[in-house]
Amino acid sequence: MAFDLLILGAASATPTSQQYTTSQLLTMREQLFLIDCCEGAQQQLRRHKVKTSRINHIFISHMHGDHYFGLIGLISSYHLQRRSKPLNIYGPESLQKVIETQLKASKTRLEYELIFHATNPNRTELIAETKKVLVYSIPLIHGIATTGFKFVEKVSDRRLNMTAITTHGVPPLERKAIQRGMDWENEDGERVANDLLTLPPDRPLSYAFWSDTAFNPSKVEDIKNVDLLYHEATFTRAERDLAEQTKHSTAEDAGKIARAAEVRTLLLGHYSSRYANPDVHLAESQNHFQNVIAGRDNMRVSVDLNTIEFVQE
């Protein structure tokens, strides 16, 4: 199995001519999940030729504008494109009122159903479940109610042991039931146990998105052993006082959290505009955790059981 993360924006606070604020597109088990929705998110999705009609779930971490100011535009575009499928939005309770006010002010009556799911900033909980993916919200520490999100693949069917399948002559039409755990009976009435015909399923992969937050070791157990952890790194150690005042993290904080959580790889983002590039952030995090990627706009991170790779598009 594998998943793919496209970084639509990696900056904090305000967009510039060169970069966007926070937004990511996660593709996991062939499903598309939009995480935060910055100004210009639609432009970025179009630039990367994303089929936006496949996005049925949008997750908003908190109500600071750099994380959701692009949402009403996307909602409106879906309306103009005559979307018919329901759209699920997960976010702070106050977000629903903001959306309703914007739609009312523009006298827009949506052509599709908008389903709002309020997140709880006080506890970790399952907030979404599709056929193949589970999504949890995780409380964070910021100036306003904020949650992170964890996406976990459901355990897949067992894998066929093709050597045994061929040896026993199992016909193709019966193999799916065997993957789901059934034994098999041949033409002579002999029963072949399922564990002889299959192999254990692949380990489920996971992705955690830790949005704006102060250093938060109390929630490390909620992201233990995830394959990829996105952690905000607004500042470097030199601006620690400012990070504490604004309830943001430094790159050093991110490295410490990744090490404590024993994740496979750490992805940084949400950089302050005071930095020309994230090289300092990368070096600072690597003092505490080796496997770090300095996220940038238009970077694609691909994760499978064996490798984690990234390319700049």
Active site residues: 66
272 backbone dihedrals φ, ψ, rounded to 5°: -65, 150
Angstrom distance (rounded) from CA 313 to CA 307: 19
Containing H/E element for 185? strand 184-185
307 backbone dihedrals φ, ψ, rounded to 5°: -140, 155
Helix (H/G/I), strand (E/B), else coil: 134: strand
Q: Which two tokens stand for residue 189?
A: 């009435």
Q: CA 263, 267, 269 angle in degrees (round to 5)? A: 145
Name the CA dihedral angle for 219, 223, 225, 226, rounded to a multiple of 10 degrees.
-160
Name the CA dihedral angle for 224, 209, 120, 53, rounded to a multiple of 10 degrees.
-130
Pairing of strands 114-118, 87-91: parallel
Q: Which two tokens stand for residue 109?
A: 């009556």
197 backbone dihedrals φ, ψ, rounded to 5°: -100, -10
Using the CB atoms, write b or e for 229-265: b if 16+ within 10 Å.
Answer: bbbbbbbbeebeeebeebbbbbbbbbbbbbeebebeb
Angstrom distance (rounded) from CA 3 to CA 217: 26
- Identify the residue whose tokens are 């950089």: 271
If one counts every other C-beta atom within 10 angstroms of the C-beta of residue 13, the result is 15
Residue 311, beta-bridge partner list? 300
Residue 107 backbone class (left: φ over 0; alpha: ψ -120 to 50; beta: rest): left
